[in-house]
Amino acid sequence: MTILDNIIEHKYLEVKLRSEQFPLHLIVEREYYSSPTRSLKNKLKAGPGIIAEFKRKSPSKGTIRSEADVVEITQSYGSAGAAACSILTDNDFFGGSALDILMARPKIQIPILRKEFIIDPYQIHEAKALGADLILLIAECLTKQQIKDFTTLAHDLGLEVLMELHFEEELDKWYDQIDLIGVNNRNLKTFETGIAKSIELAPLLPHESVWVSESGLKGSEEISALIKIGFKGFLIGETFMKAPDPGLLCQTFVQNLTFNSTHAE
């Protein structure tokens, strides 16, 4: 069984339990369920941006920053000029919590991506109620019909969708209503990284979507190369979370990104 298989197996049990503890009729009564959302798609269309991620641990790296304060760090990302925040809400494997989004939402002005292994419509309703602005759909975990259905539901709730892929064949699951398409440079079976995956898939990506490169980004040279081939968003997590001052390092990346985007051919 791969790491991803293990995560998904746990996720089905987790969602069943959560939906029993907090039924949908309670979820829809939460304040943010009827609140307007903020568009990451429009932000990135206007210019390249950093999606700064908050996470405490990962299956591949173990504990990264176990006592991290979600409000403190996401506020520092916002002040640094990040285009959006990505917040891991998986607890068992990433040390996150749905409450992390709920705590961060009133404190930051930039879009929030709920980074989660979504396998059930309940999680999409929950994402909206927590205050997320967009959700992640991992192509490897879902059928094409599920991606269509989940995208329709997300849009009905005012959420944008980032569809993440790892392999060329997963492009068959994309359709033109998806807002952003992400290439995860991390192999979800081995959790190894490398931007070669983004470079390899770039010629095949649909131009109707905004492109995001995710994971394994460590420096401005890599980002500059990806800007030149059409990527607009750059999701960075571990690099920031391992730094003594995540917000300060994020600011450096944002400044370099601004320079690189204005000098990209």
Q: Which of 14, 53, 116, 170 is labelled catalytic?
A: 53
CATH number of 3-35+47-263: 3.20.20.70
Q: CB of 230 within 8 A of CB of 202?
A: yes
* 63 pLDDT more than 70: yes
Q: Which of 86, 213, 215, 260 is labelled catalytic?
A: 215
* 111 pLDDT more than 90: yes
- Domains of the chain by residue range: 3-35+47-263
Q: Which of 57, 115, 128, 173 is labelled catalytic?
A: 115
pLDDT score recorded for residue 99: 95
Residue 53 known to be catalytic: yes
How many helices (H) does the chain have, and how many strands (E)? 11, 10
Q: Which of 86, 184, 185, 187 is labelled catalytic?
A: 184
Q: Which of 126, 170, 214, 222 is labelled catalytic?
A: 214
Mean pLDDT of the residues in the chain: 94
- Helix, coil or strand: residue 124: helix
- Using alpha carbons, list the distances in angstroms from residue 148 to 117, 142, 181, 211: 16, 10, 14, 19
For residue 90, name the pLDDT band (cuts at 50, 70, 90). Answer: very high
Of 135, 115, 133, 113, the C-alpha closest to 124 is: 135
Percent of the chain with pLDDT over 70: 96
pLDDT score recorded for residue 149: 99
pLDDT score recorded for residue 173: 97
Q: What is the mean pLDDT of residues 118-144?
A: 98
Q: What is the pTM of this model?
A: 0.94
Pull the structure tokens for residue 180: 């952003």
Q: Which of 164, 170, 222, 238 is labelled catalytic?
A: 164
Q: For 163-201, what is each residue's pLDDT tens digit?
A: 999 999 999 999 999 999 999 997 666 667 789 899 999
For residue 70, name the pLDDT band (cuts at 50, 70, 90). Answer: very high
For residue 262, name the pLDDT band (cuts at 50, 70, 90). Answer: low
pLDDT score recorded for residue 259: 76
Residue 184 known to be catalytic: yes
Residue 57 known to be catalytic: no
pLDDT score recorded for residue 188: 60
pLDDT score recorded for residue 213: 98
* 35 pLDDT more than 70: yes
Residue 115 known to be catalytic: yes
- B/e letters for 2-29, b = 16+ CB within 10 Å, e = fewer, are ebbeebbeebeebbeebbeeeeeeebee
